[in-house]
């Protein structure tokens, strides 16, 4: 399968300045720091991580909602970073975006019909009549009644609004959709409906998804391959089976063990690796391996001086750790807890 999207060395820094005059005093948030990955046609790649890991920022760089600070993004043969004007607009037909917040992502003063027709209007597709027909069809396809075409978002629930958000993303018949936490704001019983819908549409339309989320069980369900991010870097990358069944990076292992499962017996049996301290600030990330301040198996001095590269640990499976799987974690966690307690955060 051909790689549809190729990201190489993507870097995104934000300046949090002190106003215009004192911009020399500004600090830099290193949100995404040199990441590389590919997405094949028709597959779903998951970007998973906690807040501040850079997954949303990555998604927005790919469709140029944010301008990358450095790095290369290739979509098919196109160098996305170099696109301007009309070409950038044309790129937007191929790569669409679904947003997290069903309440904020739809303009409250536009009807569903207007919201869905807008992409067509912007790209001068079809006549007014044709657009209306397409909008109705699309509403139907995402499970809503076509009669709602003249209704306003505030009359509907979160799940229904999210369906419209999905419908809107499909209007231009994109090749790839970046889904930024599409179900996180929805109730559990509605999440399943939307996940099913996304999967059906993928099968039917041959879509490629970049799926960004923090919920590990959702990622496990919908993704073919998974990239685990921490503080702007990819720490583990591989097929979902490999990453979930034999995680190599200590962060992945902690993440998986920390996420509670809805099964009391299993939950009580599990050995939970509890990380200590808070996530460091992306303005001032730790030297060497960014995870070393919280890592249960960090070895000094190498972990605090040398940044580990992503290296192969299995077939199509990479991890960025000097000591991936060299130490069993539960015992090490208990030991380092005693050492870490009473320390500075």
Are 32 and 10 a contacting pair, CB within 8 Å?
yes
CA distance 140 to 68: 37
- Residue choice 3, 125, 258, 332 for contact with other proteins (CB under 8 A): 258
- Taking CB under 8 A as the binding criterion, the range among 18-26, 73-81, 296-304, 330-338 that sits at the site for other proteins is 18-26
Q: Which residue do the tokens 């559990």 mark? A: 188
Q: Which stretch binds other proteins (CB under 8 A): 32-40, 309-317, 323-331, 335-343?
A: 335-343
Residues 73-92 that bind other proteins (CB under 8 A): 88-89, 92
Among residues 191, 208, 293, 318, which is the contact residue for other proteins, using CB under 8 A? 191
Whose CA is closest to 12, among 50, 51, 64, 48?
64
**Closest Cα to residue 163, out of 143, 178, 147, 145?**
143
Which H or E run includes 296? none
Q: Which position among 44, 63, 162, 293 is part of the footprint of other proteins (CB under 8 A)?
A: 63
Does 65 contact other proteins by CB under 8 A? Answer: yes
Choose, by CB under 8 A, the member of 12, 168, 292, 322 that binds other proteins. 168
Q: Judging by DSSP bridges, how do beta strands 78-79 and 233-239 pair with one another?
A: unpaired
For position 279 contacting other proteins by CB under 8 A, the verdict is yes
When asked if residue 342 is in the footprint of other proteins (CB under 8 A), the reply is: yes
Contact set for other proteins, span 117-156 (CB under 8 A): 118-119, 122-123, 151-152, 154-156
Output 88 or 133, the one with its CB closest to other proteins: 88
> Three-class SS of residue 14?
strand
- The 21-60 contact track toward other proteins, x by CB under 8 A, reads x----------------------------xx---------
- DSSP-derived secondary structure for 211-267: EEES-HHHHHHH-SEEEEEETTEEEEEEEHHHHHHS--SHHHHHHHHHS--S-HHHH
In the bound complex, what is the minimum distance in angstroms from residue 339's beta carbon to other proteins?
13
Among 227, 255, 298, 329, binds other proteins (CB under 8 A): 255
- Taking a C-beta distance cutoff of 8 angstroms, is the pair 73, 80 a contact? yes
For other proteins, give the closer residue by CB, 72 or 276: 276
- Phi and psi angles of residue 259, each rounded to the nearest 5 degrees, phi first: -75, 120
Q: Which of 199, 299, 323, 336 binds other proteins (CB under 8 A)?
A: 199
Q: With respect to other proteins, which residue has the nearer C-beta, 302 or 339?
A: 339
Running DSSP on this structure, what letter comes out for residue 320?
-
């Amino acid at each position: 399968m051909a790689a549809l999207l190729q990201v190489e060395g993507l870097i995104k820094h934000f300046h949090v300045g002190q106003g215009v005059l004192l911009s020399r005093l500004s600090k830099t948030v290193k949100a995404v720091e040199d990441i590389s990955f590919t997405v094949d046609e028709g597959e779903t790649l998951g970007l998973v991580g906690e807040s501040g890991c850079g997954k949303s920022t990555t998604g927005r760089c790919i469709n140029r909602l944010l301008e990358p600070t450095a790095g290369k993004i290739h979509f098919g043969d196109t160098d996305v970073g170099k696109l301007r004007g009309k070409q950038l607009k044309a790129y937007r037909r191929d790569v669409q975006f679904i947003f997290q917040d069903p309440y904020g992502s739809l303009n409250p003063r536009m009807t569903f019909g207007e919201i869905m027709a807008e992409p067509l209007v912007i790209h001068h597709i079809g006549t007014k009549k044709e657009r209306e027909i397409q909008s109705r069809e699309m509403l139907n396809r995402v499970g809503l009644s076509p009669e709602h075409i003249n209704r306003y978002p505030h009359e509907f629930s979160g799940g229904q609004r999210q369906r419209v958000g999905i419908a809107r993303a499909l209007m231009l018949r994109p090749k790839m959709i970046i889904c930024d936490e599409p179900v996180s704001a929805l109730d559990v019983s509605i999440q399943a409906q939307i996940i099913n819908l996304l999967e059906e549409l993928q099968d039917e339309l041959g879509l490629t998804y970049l799926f960004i989320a923090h919920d590990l069980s959702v990622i496990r369900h919908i993704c073919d391959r998974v990239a685990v991010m921490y503080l702007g870097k990819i720490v583990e990358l591989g097929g979902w089976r490999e990453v979930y069944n034999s995680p190599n990076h200590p962060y992945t292992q902690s993440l998986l063990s920390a996420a509670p499962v809805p099964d009391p017996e299993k939950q009580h049996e599990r050995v939970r690796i509890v990380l200590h301290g808070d996530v460091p600030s992306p303005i001032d990330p730790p030297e060497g391996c960014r995870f070393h301040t919280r890592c249960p198996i960090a070895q000094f001095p190498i972990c605090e001086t040398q940044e580990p590269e992503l290296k192969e640990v299995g077939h199509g499976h990479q991890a960025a750790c000097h000591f991936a799987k060299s130490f069993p974690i539960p015992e090490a966690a208990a030991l380092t807890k005693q050492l870490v307690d009473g320390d500075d955060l």
